[in-house]
């Protein structure tokens, strides 16, 4: 009887060990290949108009384009533009992203911003113009991780064309993970952009002026929808 109990205990340990191996393998696989099944940091900013996220796998990008009827891609981490480092990690994926855009007849805009999200204010304006032009909608704006640079792009649109104050922009970005105290340089740069906008007023893009759609429903961006 003692031998049987000892044998049973050994079998139990083997079963437990096997279960742990299976769970660990499944967890590793989910982490490594999650982008093939779930969009990476994808959020709805303004339904039917503006979506944001991280760099997606080609298959996931195609799925998002089809599901949300994306017409324009704005890539703030376009490594293909980095002539000094043409073989940078991810450059091949962005080349494929451009191929997908051409194949599906999408508009594509590439910018090579620093990972900090701190960029030239004139380029902030350029991105804001794209996001405010209704003929580009729906737009998918992204960088590599879908964080700092994408935050800068969304904030530039809010501040330039939606009339958000600096405080409102910061509060809005907190919904996407901005931790103000951890990014003092970015926050200070964004505050500077608010001052720059006040000193450099400019007309709205013509497509917005004609339809006015881009300036209706002011509560849309102040209360972003939950990620789909």
pLDDT tens per residue across span 127-167: 999 999 988 999 999 999 999 999 999 999 999 999 999 99
The Cα–Cα gap between 147 and 153 comes to 10
Long-range contacts, 217-224 (Cβ 8 Å, 24+): 218/162, 218/163, 220/46, 220/47, 221/45, 221/46, 221/158, 221/162, 221/164, 221/172, 222/168, 222/172, 224/43, 224/44, 224/45, 224/46, 224/172, 224/175, 224/176
Does residue 94 fall inside a structural domain?
A: yes
Does residue 174 fall inside a structural domain?
A: yes
Does residue 91 fall inside a structural domain?
A: yes
- The CATH code of the domain that includes 87 is 3.90.190.10
Residue 196 has pLDDT above 60, yes or no: yes
**Residue holding tokens 């380029």?**
123
Measured between alpha carbons, how far is residue 138 from residues 46, 127, 165 in Å? 9, 14, 25
Q: What is the token pair recorded at 144?
A: 């590599």
Does residue 26 fall inside a structural domain?
A: no
Does residue 17 fall inside a structural domain?
A: no
Domain that holds residue 159: 40-203
Does residue 224 fall inside a structural domain?
A: no
The Cα–Cα gap between 75 and 113 comes to 9
Which of 7-21, 63-77, 97-111, 155-169 shows the lowest mean pLDDT across its residues?
A: 7-21
**Residue holding tokens 């376009």?**
78
Sequential DSSP letters for 176-222: TT--GGG-HHHHHHHHHHHHHHHHS--PPPHHHHHH-GGGS-THHHH
Residue 61 has pLDDT above 70, yes or no: yes
Residue 27 has pLDDT above 70, yes or no: no
Does residue 5 fall inside a structural domain?
A: no
Does residue 65 fall inside a structural domain?
A: yes
Tally the domains of the chain.
1
Most confident of 8-12, 18-22, 165-169: 165-169
């Amino acid at each position: 009887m003692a031998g049987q109990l000892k044998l049973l205990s050994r079998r139990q340990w083997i079963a437990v060990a096997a279960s742990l191996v299976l769970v660990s393998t499944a967890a590793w696989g989910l982490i490594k290949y999650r982008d093939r099944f779930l969009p990476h940091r994808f959020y709805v900013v303004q339904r039917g108009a503006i979506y944001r996220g991280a760099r997606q796998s080609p298959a996931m990008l195609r799925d998002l384009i089809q599901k949300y009827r994306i017409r324009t891609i704005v890539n703030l981490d376009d490594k293909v533009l980095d002539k000094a480092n043409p073989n940078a990690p991810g450059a091949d994926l962005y080349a494929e992203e451009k191929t997908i855009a051409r194949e599906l007849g999408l508009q594509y805009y590439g910018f090579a911003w620093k990972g900090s999200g701190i960029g030239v204010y004139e380029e902030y304006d350029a991105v804001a113009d794209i996001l405010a032009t209704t003929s580009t909608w729906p737009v998918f704006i992204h960088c590599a991780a879908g964080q700092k640079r994408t935050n800068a792009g969304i904030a530039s649109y809010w501040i330039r064309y939606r009339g958000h104050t600096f405080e409102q922009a910061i509060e809005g970005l907190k919904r996407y993970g901005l931790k103000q105290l951890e990014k003092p340089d970015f926050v200070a740069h964004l505050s500077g952009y608010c001052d720059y906008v006040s000193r450099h007023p400019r007309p709205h893009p013509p497509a917005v002026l004609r339809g006015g759609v881009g300036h209706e429903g002011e509560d849309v961006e102040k209360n972003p929808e939950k990620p789909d």
